[in-house]
Structure formats: C-alpha cells, structure tokens
Amino acid sequence: MKRSLVDVKRPIVEWWRRWWASLAQAPPGRLALLLAVGLVAGIFPMMGIPTALCLLAAVVFHLDAAALQALNTVTSPLQIALLAPLARVGAKLLGVNLAAGGLTAKLGLTAVCAATGWACVCFPLGVLLYAGLSAAMAPDDQDRRKRCNRVTAQIQSPAEMSVSSAIPNSK
C-alpha cells in the first residue's frame, strides 16, 4: 500500500501549525527568554556544546526545546564567525598568547579563551537582549492574543482530524 505525498505531508504540516500556535500563545516574557537563551547558547564557541546548553535551558527554564534547537541551528554560522573574536577577547582577559605552544596546546587554549570570551561578552549581552525584548514585546500583548486566537481557530485538534478523515463526506 503506497502512501501519497499528501498523506505524508499532512502530519508534518499539522505539527508545524500546532508548534507555531503554541509559540504564538506564549506570553511575551517567555518568548523574550526563549530568544535570548537560544541566541546566547547557540553561539557558544565549541561545536556540540550549544545543543546540550539549549536542552539544559529548556529543562531549567521550562522552554520549548524544539524552538531552542531551531535557534541553535540558525545561529550556527554566527557561532563559527565569532570563534576567533571571542578567543581574542578571552586571551586578552586571561593574559595569554594564543600563538605559543604546540598544536594541541593551541587548540585547547583557544577553546578555553573562546569560552571565557563568550562568558564575559555574550552572557551579559544576552541579559540585555532579554530585558530589551521583554520591554519591546509587552505593549503588543493584546494584538498578539487576537492573532493567536485566529491561528488556533484554524487548527483542528487531532481528535477532530481523525474523525473527519475517517468518515468520508461527513458533512
């Protein structure tokens, strides 16, 4: 029995709509926290660590893990672009020379310096980003609620979807 493309696509589209509606229903403070945490954790300068940081933040702050991982993925180019500048900032703060030593020592020292630069630059900027986003999103609360109600009214619940798809021409 072959499944058509529509049968495969329908659950994905419904999941996307439900996920987007859940984000639309979130209070502005939660969205601000989600964006700030996702961006700051996503640009941590070591590969693989941002994924763990996003999952940890989702558990600690009770945020949407899928949204945090989406932000993590989007910020990957920024993570790579900021590696060298963060390592330089960390090296200046720690007072070390990144050019000294063998290859392994250079890589380890660069990683430590980049993490130090991230903690000293990105973390405080993330707090400022959260404060700014919270302030910017607060007045728009009523308009967001209206848009959210329109979006959720268009989405069928899974029970309605299964009943309406099981009974052909049920109108």
Decide: 94 and 116 in contact? Cβ < 8 Å.
Answer: yes
List b or e across 91-104, with b for residues whose CB sees 16 or more CB atoms inside 10 angstroms.
beeeebebeeeeee
Residue 68 has pLDDT above 80, yes or no: yes
Cβ proximity of 35 and 129 under 8 Å? yes
Kindly give, in sequence order, each residue whose CB lies less than 8 Å from that of residue 25, ignoring residues fewer than 6 positions away.
148, 152
Q: Domain residue spans in the chain? A: 27-152
Q: What is the pLDDT of residues 99-110, one digit of tens each?
A: 777 777 788 888
- Rounded distance, CA 1 to CA 48, Å? 40
Radius of gyration of the chain (CA): 22
Tens digits of residue pLDDT in 76-89: 999 999 999 999 99
- What is the value of pTM for the model shown? 0.68
